[in-house]
Amino acid sequence: MYSNLYQPLFEKRQHIVAGKVEPTDEECDFALDSDKEEDDISEGIKKAAINEKGDEKKNDENVAGIPEFWLTTLKSVDLIADMIQSHDEDILKHLVDIKVKYLEKNPAGFVLEFYFEPNMYFTNTVLTKTYEIKCDVDEADPFSYEGPDIVGCKVCTIDWKKGMNVTVKTIRKKQH
């Protein structure tokens, strides 16, 4: 599969994010299409470096890798950022990698694998969501094809630790 050609890059990214390797100066130097794009990226980095209180985060030499890489990445995608709720953020801080596995046929689709470090919320180290897609083209009007359709999805069971399921709100009723 063509996607296998990218596997070495995905592994290198995971090692950099986890702090297992440091990128070289050459790897950090990349050309941008325009100065505006560079300004936008610089502004985004500045915003990411400031916490909720407005204080700049101190550079800690002991920090390995890129803390909260996946949370920051997901929040940078408008379509996904709108779905992330405040209680999700604490969980997503523990997300260490995302992988996609492509399903061949019958059914065609893909699996998203979310890898987590040990955390206080659940015991799973990997959460998965499987998407089934169909790619039917109307033979009478092939130019109207707008791409594959998601026709189904399956999610894994999350093994929540006691009292840590953020999708459930516990209401306590007083006895009189």
| Full set of structural domains in the chain with CATH | 1-67 (no CATH), 94-163 (3.30.1120.90)
Tokens of 135: 């790619």
- Alpha-carbon separation of residue 73 from 68, 80, 93, 137, 162 (angstroms): 8, 10, 11, 33, 29
Query: How confident is the prediction along the chain (176 residues), in pLDDT tens digits per residue?
Result: 677 888 988 999 999 899 898 888 887 777 665 555 556 655 655 566 555 444 445 556 677 789 999 999 999 999 999 999 999 999 999 999 999 998 887 778 999 999 999 999 999 999 999 999 888 888 888 888 888 888 899 999 999 999 999 988 777 777 76
Tokens of 11: 């592994």
Long-range contacts of range 6-12, CB-CB < 8 Å, 24 or more positions apart? 10/99
The overall pTM is greater than 0.85: no
- Residue 114 CB neighbour total at 10 angstroms: 19
